[in-house]
Every structure is written in C-alpha cells, then in structure tokens.
A and B are shown apart, each in its own frame.
Chain A
Amino acid sequence: MAVFARPRQALVIAGALGLALGATACGTGSSTSSGNNTNADSAECAPYEKYQGHDGKKVSIYSSIRDIEADRLDESWKQFEECTGIEINHEGSGEFEAQLPVRVDGGNAPDLAFIPQPGLIQRFAERDQIKAAGAETKAMAEENYPADWLTYSTVNGTFYGAPLGSNVKSFVWYSPKMFQEKGWAVPTTWDEMIKLSDTIADSGTKPWCAGIESGEATGWPATDWIEDLMLRTQTPEVYDQWTKHEIPFNDPRVAEALDRAGTILKNEKYVNGGFGGVRSIATTSFQEAGVPITAGKCALHRQASFYANQWPQGTRVAEDGDVFAFYFPAIDPAKGKPVLGGGEFVTAFSDRPEVQAVQTYLASGEHANSRAKIGDWVSANNKLDLANVANPIDKLSVELLQDDSSVFRFDGSDLMPAAVGNGTFWKGMVEWINGRDTATVLQGIESSWPK
C-alpha cells in the first residue's frame, strides 16, 4: 500500500480542497437571512398585525401544486411574508400523495401540507401524525367556510385544518361557437342532454369525448362521473353513506349510478369523438380528452373547472368564445342542484407558533382574495369577493359554491380510504371501461375495502 506515494498526495490535496470549498460554501449558504421587516408598521401591513412576532422564522409547505400555479401561490403570500418576516418555503411535487406518507413516516414531515384527500387526513389523524389546528385557525375557518367543508378535515371531533383552493367538477365543456352554428341549445336537464346527444350522434358526429388516462392515477376522471351520478340518481344522504361505507360498494344503488354513467360512457354511438371506440377512453389522457371539441370532432366533455387550463394555447374560454362549460344537469331538478367538487386542506405536522400563524392566515379572507386577484383560482371561502375572480369559469364555480340551492358534496374517492379511493376504485373504473361488467367491478372494489 505504501508504494502509492503520488496518489496519496493527490488525495491529500483533494481532501484539503474539499474542506476549503466546504468552508466557502458555508459562507455563501447562510447569507440569505432577511432584513426586510422595515415596512412592518406601514398601512399595507395592518391586516397582518395579528400574525407578527415571528420575524426570521421559516415555515415549510409541501403540496401537489407545481409550476405556474405554485408561482402564483408564492406571489399570493408575498405581502404576508414581507409584513411578518416569516419565510414560507413551498415545495410542489408530482408524487405528493405517495411521498407525503413516506416523508412523514421517515421523520421528515413538512410543517404544513395541502392535502386534497380527506381520506389521507383521516389516516394521519388516526396514527397521531398530524397536529390539531390551533384555536385561532379554527375560529378563522369557522368564520370563513361553510360548515360542511369543515367536516371533511374533522376526524373524531378534532379539527385539523381549513380548506384552501377548491374546484367544481360538475361541468360539461362545450363549444359555444359550434352550438350556435348548429342551432343547439345548452341543456338544462338530463333528458335534454341525452336528446341533444342523440341529435348530434344522428348527424354523424360522436357527441362525447372522454379520457381517463392519467399515469399513476389512471381512472380518476371516471370516478368523478360515478360520483356525479350518485348525487343525481340518489339522495345526498345515500352518497354520504356510500363514501363512509355504511352501504356496501356493490349496493344496487351504486350499480344504478354506474349503469347510468354507462349509458353515455359505454355507448358506442356516443363516444369517443376522435379517439376510437369505448375502450379508447382508457388510453386517452385526460389532458387531451376534451381537445377534439376545438376541432369539431365531438361536442361535449364532462370535466372539472380546472380543465380551463388544458385547452390548446389561443383557445378563448368564455361564454361566447371557443369553449365554455355548462352545469352538468340534474336528473330531477326538483331535488336541487347537486354539485361535486374538491379542494385541498391546510394541515399541520408541527405546531410551532409561526406555523399556526401561517395556517390561520391561509384560512383568512385576505389570502383568498390575494390569491384570487392573481388569477385562475376558486375557493369556498365566503370572504372571497366575486369581483376579484376574473376567469368566467372560476366565476361560475364560485357562484355555484355560493348558490343556496346547490347541494355540495366532496369528491367521494378522496373521502374514501386510499386503498379504495386511490386504488381499487380507479382500477375498477379502468376495467369497467375496458369491458368488465358492473357487478364484477363493484364486487371487486367492495372486497378491497380495508376492514
């Protein structure tokens, strides 16, 4: 060994160099501490007074929000950061659902997470891995959000965090231009919608476009169909029993909803505009699924409000534009307007005062309006001023959320345990589209419900 005199020298040099570099890296790394608390007493900062006193503290947030949406979030709490001196580090991940439990189990939990699945909140709560929301957060949430929204993040009587953004799923996208040219009217009841579908099908065009491919999450768009139809063929009470597994998953009432969805999704006459037969739904990505509308290859596409961001560049989303959406009609309008939606909840994994301050602030009207002004955002926060919502679809969504006649229910698959809601329900829908019969699919999902 001792013969390698030269490499040894090299190693010594490398080691010394490493230490030197390390020292300089250390010097630059910690020079970011901010001194921007100068305007804390200005008028702009008045609304943030109650969150002050945590200058220089850091709060980490983990969520599934990425890219431009994440930039907008960062911008939305900029004022808050400047006035309170709290530094918010937001990290978005495409693998959020799978990675969050791994990080939490591994002792590397973020301070706050925006969890879009009440089922996941429940799982963390049952394992004592999340912190109950503080009294101030709770008061703020109770003041600003409808009571039923708060129940989604409440487990065994403990409240874990307020909602943040929301989306409305009960929309059918269409092209106002095409409708006008062909003389079609926007349907307001289920029967009108079916009649319109038949008219379009008779004219030689496939009326509906659909696609449920979404990588790991393939199948979720079909679960939205089923949930929307559970709300339309059954009462909201039955819907609640279904999501809580108080009725079995293969209950005849669920089968009825599935079969009703099948009258559109599994109808070769109706689907799948521009893509192929019924089974092409399984392999069409949800992002691309509605796009044939812009080429006139289909007329209708049921998808949530956030689909507004999926249209090709240059497509004008407006009531008189290239594309727009109408409310997915109820079967029996006398029972009110069922609205299916989703949203994320701000849950905490640590209860330091600055974390609670951020959690409270995110539940406030200030944040909701600050975020809405930047664009493309919907929230059930009742302090949200409709004037701050520019996008017409978002406006429609907020109106539906604030409409007294709507019967709002949260996305069912997100309420169910992950094994079903993120697993067999998605997979079951894929098999169902691929040709498996309703009874077998429902039986399979039922048997996978965790005991």
Chain B
Amino acid sequence: MNFDFAAQAPKLMMLLWGLVAFAVVVGGLLILLDVVPAFFARRREAQLVAASAGGGVPLPRRTKPREGLFALFFLLPTVLLLMIGLVVPAIRTTLLSFMDGGSQNWVGLDNYRWMFAEDAIVRVLINTLVWVTLVPLVATGMGLLYAVLVDKARLESLAKSLIFMPMAISFVGAAIIWRFVYAYRGEGQEQIGLLNQIVVSLGGEPRQWLLDSPLNTLLLIVIMVWIQAGFAMVVLSAAIKSIPADIVEAARLDGVTPWQMFRQITVPSIRPAMIVVVVTISIATLKVFDIVRTTTNGNYDTSVIANEMYNQAFRYGQNGQGSALAVFLFILVLPIVIFQIRNLRQQRREG
C-alpha cells in the first residue's frame, strides 16, 4: 500500500502538534528548573557579599520558605498526576465494584460473590494461579541455569543476546509469533505451524494445540517464559559476575564440587537479585493480558483475570463485575509489592 502524505496530513499535523506541545511543556519545565535555583543561589550570594561588605549588617535570614515553595511547585504536578492517574481511579474502581453493571445501584458484595460462584470465573482464577506459580519459577530457573552455564564460556555475550532477544519483542508480537508456531492445518495439507510440522514429520497427526485445556494454558505459559527468561538471565548473570573473586577462590581452594559451588556460594550470593527477578516476573504475570487475548482470546478455558476484567467492563458493559476483578487483581499484587518494599529496606539497612 502506498503512503499518501496528503491524505495523512491531519494525522501528521496532529503528530507535529504533539511534538510542539511536548517541547514547550518539557522544555519550559527544564528551563524553569535551571533558572529558578540559579536565581535563588545568585541572590543569596549577593546578600552574603553585601553582608560581608557592610560588616555591621546582620546576615540575612535563610530564604528557606520560598525555596520550599519552589519545591512544592515541582512536587505538585507529580502529586496531581498521580491523583488523576492512579489514586482517584483506584478509589473509583473500588466503589464501582460494589455497584451493578450500569454503575447506578449499590449491590454490596454481589460482584465478589459472583466471582467465586460462577464456574467460568473460578476457572479464570485457577488459570491465573497456574500462570503466577509456573512463570516466575520456570523463567527464573531457566534464566539462572543459563546464566551459570554460560558464565565465562566462549562467545558468552552472543549466547546471552540470543536468549535476551525475545525481551525486545512486545507481548502481542511474541503471541503472534507463537500463534504461528501452534498453527493448525488439516491433515494432508501443508502445515504452516512449526510444532505441527515437527509432529507430522515424525509421523504423527496434526493437532489443534490451543483447543484442549489444560494443555493450552501451559502452551501459553511457554510464551511468557520465552519472553521473561532472558530478563532473568541478564539480571542473574550480572549478579553472578559481582560475586567477589576471593570468595570463589577460597571455595575452590577448599575443593568444592561445581554443585557445592552453586548451592553454597552462587545461590546465597545472588539471593537478593533472584528475589527481585521473581517479584518482577510475578507482577508481570499477574497482569498478563496481551498473550491470552492475541492467541486464544480467552476461549477454550484459557482466560486470565486481566482479560476477563477487560471483557466484563468494556465489552459486556458489566462495570461492577469488571471492577471487582480489577480490585481482586490489585489485592493479589499487593502482598508481592509489600514483600518487595520490605526486602529493599532490609537490604538498604544491611548495606
């Protein structure tokens, strides 16, 4: 298809406007950030000079309040945007979760009761549980294994970049790639799916991989692991590299086997990094939406909370039920976040 610049003019104009607005707002803020403190500094300098020159004149009071005001000026947009973008919607969603589909009448806990009573939704909750247990464990495990195996090997950076590359692909992109891997064509036709082609060349019959539960959920989990293992590998590899050489050397002198080295030196040393990786992947997994939506659209018992939430709220017009799912997802993420914050604090104290 040809790209007609004239026909796209309104969109391009919009793009230009966006860039202009960005330049004005951000540029303006940066200038302000540069000019105002400089102004305060210069004034204080001048006052100090005046004070030292005048001798008898008392030192001016420090102009803290006005600088505080300046700080507030920069804090305010952040607080405001956080309120608009996060706090208010969170409160509103919570309120909506106690209302009916049209957000008009209060229904109490009905939406939450519905969540645990409806077989289809319970299925969704179970699927999410499967995702959130399997993905962090498998992805971190594979990342760790790979990081250890490839450590100090020849062509290490090449091997690492191969595994890391899927991270660069969006979830939707990855899901589309894997949908082709799992694609099905009838028996006797040319298979376009890698998996079915392998099965056929081994003498088997092509299968519709994504139609059978629970196999399909596991196959979708493979996609997420494929994306996240690279992330785990990179972080853990860096952690392994930062283990002090003298500790490794001391262990070597004590004559540890590779397994003992791994168990007693490597893993304890990189524990903080592993926790970060597991927590990050867990949160990403709880929110998984794109992969499910793109591959199966939640059909064949593969739906997860985020996908169901979108369906209920935006497609079915059931705001209450959608909000209840959102709140439930929020509650599920909360302990992980709290754990992570506590962990970080502890590390800082130890450090």
Contacts and interface: CB of A to CB of B under 8 A. Distances in A.
Contacts of B230: none
A434 B41 contact: no
B338 interface: no
A97 interface: yes
Given A18-B20, A450-B318, A8 B37 contact: no
Main DSSP-derived SS at the A contact region: helix
A444 B315 contact: no
Interface stretch (A165-173, A304-312, A416-424): A416-424
A447 B118 contact: yes
The residue in A274, A419, A422 that gathers the most chain B C-beta atoms within 10 A of its C-beta is: A419
A123 B316 contact: no
B314 A102 contact: yes
Contact of A450 (B42, B101, B314): B101
B13 interface: yes
Contacts of A215: 297
A283 B211 contact: yes
Given A2-B41, A11-B27, A418-B317, A276 B186 contact: yes
Contact of B102 (A7, A102, A126): A126
Contact of B119 (A1, A22, A418, A444): A444
A146 interface: no
Interface residues of A, number: 50
Contacts of B28: 15
Interface residues of B, number: 44
B8 to A, nearest CB: 15
A223 interface: no
Nearest to B296: A218
A120 to B, nearest CB: 8
Contacts of B101: 419, 450
Interface in A86-125: 97-98, 101-102, 120, 123
B184 interface: yes
Nearest to A119: B317
A267 to B, nearest CB: 17
Interface in A421-451: 422-424, 427, 430-431, 434, 444, 447-448, 450
A1 B31 CA distance: 10
A28 B41 CA distance: 44
B300 A422 contact: no
Contact of A1 (B33, B206, B297): B33
A119 to B, nearest CB: 9
A14 B16 CA distance: 14
Contact of A434 (B31, B42, B206, B211): B211
Nearest to A8: B34
Contacts of B210: 283
A127 B104 contact: yes
A19 interface: yes
Given A126-B102, A216-B297, A444-B119, A419 B316 contact: yes
Nearest to B318: A419
B31 to A, nearest CB: 5
29 contacts: A1-B33, A1-B37, A2-B37, A2-B38, A2-B42, A8-B35, A11-B34, A14-B27, A15-B28, A15-B31, A18-B23, A21-B20, A22-B17, A22-B24, A25-B17, A29-B13, A101-B314, A127-B104, A216-B293, A274-B186, A276-B185, A276-B187, A276-B206, A279-B208, A279-B211, A419-B318, A431-B299, A434-B300, A450-B101
